[in-house]
Amino acid sequence: MSRIDSKVTILGLVAVALVIAGSALAAEPQVETFTLVSGAEVGPGSRAYFTPGNGNHGFFGQGGAIDGQPNPTLRVKQGDTVKIILLDKDQRGHSAVLAIPDLGLSTPVLTREGQSATLSFVANRPGRFKYTGKLTGKDAQAGDHAGLGRVERHINMVGQIVVDPK
């Protein structure tokens, strides 16, 4: 084997090793961060607006691929760490919460405009998981026509988290 053949063989082996290493790195879990804004209403063209109106409240994505989307679908891979930042921009004094009932997760209640909370978890199992906003306290009582005083989800503040398998 000549010197040139030896160098070509070594370079070929290095290239294969780099491809394998790159594939392994690509499969590593990531940290996926999403920001959802609460306190907006769904307006014409599914755009957010922050003035009182029709009561059709929703979560709106802020930044990245979900920017401006009402109740966006949050897509991650199994094994990823998911961070969801809830930002309260409600100027009417309504409380805000983000809950993922199937995972038993919920942010603390935000009670003032400008507050934020972060919900973090590892997406261990693939599937579709609903996220929802809940009315709490006086808001829940006002929306609870049965008078049971229970915490209710807001009907228009619902989206999905999709966890794709590895």
pLDDT at residue number 91: 73
Helical (H) or strand (E) element with 17: helix 3-27
Q: What is the pTM of this model?
A: 0.71
pLDDT tens, position by position, 47-64: 666 555 555 678 889 999
pLDDT tens, position by position, 69-127: 889 999 999 999 999 999 988 777 777 889 999 999 999 988 888 899 999 999 999 99
Residue 48, CB-side half-sphere exposure with 13 Å CA sphere: 21
Q: Can you point out the beta strands (E) in the chain? A: 31-42, 48-49, 57-61, 74-77, 81-88, 98-100, 105-106, 116-122, 127-135, 152-164
* Fold classification of 29-164 (topology level): Immunoglobulin-like (2.60.40)
Signed CA dihedral, 45, 88, 98, 35: sign only: positive
Does residue 34 have a pLDDT over 90? yes
